[in-house]
Amino acid sequence: MKELVLQLNDKSPKYKQIYEHVRSLIEEGLLLKDTKLPSIRQLAIILHVSRNTTLIAYEQLVAEGYIRSEEKKGYFVEVYEPMDLQQSLRIENHLPSSETSIKVNFRAGTIDQQAFPLKAWRKCSNDVLKEDMIYCYGDNQGDPLLRSQLSSYLLQSRGIQTTPEQIIIGSSTQQLLMHLSLFLQKDFSSIAVENPGYDGARVVFQLHDYHLHPIEVGSKGLSLKQLERTDSKLVYITPSHQFPTGVTMPVPERQQLLKWAEAQNGFIIEDDYDSEFRYKQQPIPALVSLQPGARVIYLGTFSKAFIPSIRLSYMVLPSILIKPYVKQFSGLEQGTSSIHQRTMARFMEQGFWNSHIRKMRTTYKRKMHTLVTCLQNTFGEKIEIIGSQSGLYVLIRFRGSTKEEQLIQQALSHGVKVYPTSNYFVTNEQRTILKLGFSNLSIEQIQLGVQLLKQAWRF
């Protein structure tokens, strides 16, 4: 424990000095995993500081995963993992962390950092900080200026005719689904969902005790035949870029689905989570735009096309639902930062949003093309590439019998991180489909990644 007896100076807070010292010992490998640290009391005596000071230092180290606390035993060193790896592990699927160095991480749900319009965003954000509205509680439904901008944007980009009154701002798709689940609960007790489909939506419906009807996804999207055989009057669907298969539901099926909702007096929840990125044709109009008064609740998000950290999403309610929805939640404050909402409104108003989307579409199109070409050239008939026309990832289906987990481990051992898809399936069948995202990788990294996968998989 000799190293811990550091010299405290008066320049920075004492807890911070202790924290930084211990952290650097761990990072440099001088304190090994499972080493017991001096107790809070011991360390306080050694360093002539208060117990609070040592407690705070240790707590910060625990929070960051450098050390762990075991009840009645004390504090112990944890294995050190670089931060971005930790992050990625936390986000997707909690894979074992045996790998020591990741060269290429095909993580989906990331953002191209190089292309992010940081300057314009910072400018808008600093301008908004001068506005009086930051000192107030915001409008329950969301910033009127943002809702107004969104209604213009949705008309231009998705053909959706809506008014700002129909738009509800939320912090995420999941948060909006939480409210919808409460709202629809009195009339509906079950919901049909795509299989495979977005696990994050299923979680919310299950938290609210909905019975789930998993419906198969085929080449034309969700199977309408299967849907009609259930007694569900509610369906959650990603028709424009099915998650995760990337399938687009054709217009005749969309019309049939709209008729189904009308006949059932039910509702379709259309999640249009990454409508912005379609590379080979014009974007297909949203389901909600096909028919005036359609029984569709439309969801969109800024998490994929912009950044997830501002937590900004929105939904468009059909006009028959607005009054009852607003009434039910009239006592509930808006939970999304009004600073970010107004910043996004200014960002859109000044044209930054449209040029950002145009730029990202070109950037991501090039990356998608590179990834698909490399995969085809390298693996040919041995794999099937799914969903290459849109979105920020592809799925690859393997023709052989190797299991998902084994392929992931083989890739990992060559420094490449690829992701499973089994978590998107409700039912537990045997299939081997992996997910490769590319949004935050450079063209060179994508090429290197596929090369390494070739060495890893050797088939």
**Which residues, 106 to 165, sit near a second copy by CB under 8 A?**
109-111, 113, 116, 118, 121-122, 125-126, 129, 132-139, 144-145, 147-148, 151-152, 155-156, 163-165
User: Contacts with a second copy in 323-342 (CB under 8 A)?
Assistant: 328-329, 331-340
Site string for a second copy, 307-326 (x = CB under 8 A): xxxxx---------------
CB atoms within 10 A of CB 22: 24
Site membership for a second copy, residue 199 (CB under 8 A): yes
Output the smallest distance, CB 256 to a second copy, in A: 29
Q: What is the dihedral of CA 396, 397, 402, 403, to 10 degrees?
A: 80
Least Å distance, CB 34 to a second copy, is 19
- Pick from 35, 42, 174, 291 the residue near a second copy by CB under 8 A: 174
Q: Taking a C-beta distance cutoff of 8 angstroms, is the pair 247, 227 a contact?
A: no
In sequence order, what DSSP letters do the residues of 381-429 get, joined into one string? GGEEEE--SBSSEEEEEESS---HHHHHHHHHHTTEE-EE-GGG-SS--
Q: Which two tokens stand for residue 54?
A: 């040592």
- Shorter beta-carbon distance to a second copy: residue 172 or 248: 172
- CB of 398 or CB of 419, closer to a second copy: 419
State which of residues 90, 103, 225, 229 lies at the interface with a second copy (CB under 8 A).
90
| CB 184 within 8 Å of CB 234 | yes
Closest separation between CB of residue 272 and a second copy, Å? 18
Q: Which is nearer to a second copy, 11 or 458 (CB)?
A: 11
Measured CA to CA in angstroms, residue 353 lies from 126, 157, 170, 356 at distances of 17, 12, 19, 5
Residue ranges in 31-60 that form contacts with a second copy under rule CB under 8 A = 52, 55-56, 59-60
Question: How many residues form the binding site for a second copy (CB under 8 A)?
Answer: 80
Least distance in angstroms from the C-beta of 96 to a second copy: 17
Give the CA diameter of the chain: 76
State the Cα–Cα distance between residues 154 and 157, nearest whole angstrom: 5
Residue 262 binds a second copy (CB under 8 A): no
Tell me if 101 contacts a second copy by CB under 8 A: no
CB of 20 to a second copy, least distance (A): 12
Q: How many CA atoms lie within 13 A of 452 on its CB side?
A: 22
* Residue 351 engages a second copy in binding (rule: CB under 8 A): yes
Q: Please report whether residue 362 would count as binding a second copy according to CB under 8 A.
A: no
95 binds a second copy (CB under 8 A): no
| Residue 84 binds a second copy (CB under 8 A) | yes
Q: Which is nearer to a second copy, 339 or 443 (CB)?
A: 339
Interacting residue with a second copy among 54, 105, 172, 195 (CB under 8 A): 172
Cis omega (within 30 of 0) on the bond before 96? no
Binding mask 426-445 for a second copy (x = CB under 8 A): --------------x-----
For 15-22, which contacts have Cβ atoms below 8 Å and span 24 or more sequence positions? 15/49, 15/53, 15/54, 15/56, 15/57, 15/60, 16/57, 18/43, 18/47, 18/49, 18/53, 18/54, 18/57, 19/56, 19/57, 19/60, 19/61, 22/57, 22/61, 22/66, 22/67
The whole-angstrom separation of Cα 459 and Cα 316 is 48
Q: Helix or strand or coil: residue 100?
A: coil
Closer CB to a second copy, residue 147 or residue 295? Answer: 147
Q: Which of 216, 167, 159 is nearest to 192 (CA)?
A: 216
Beta bridge partners of 435: 395, 419
Residues 6 to 25 in contact with a second copy, rule: CB under 8 A: 13, 15-16
Rank residues 109 and 214 by Cβ distance to a second copy and give the closer one.
109
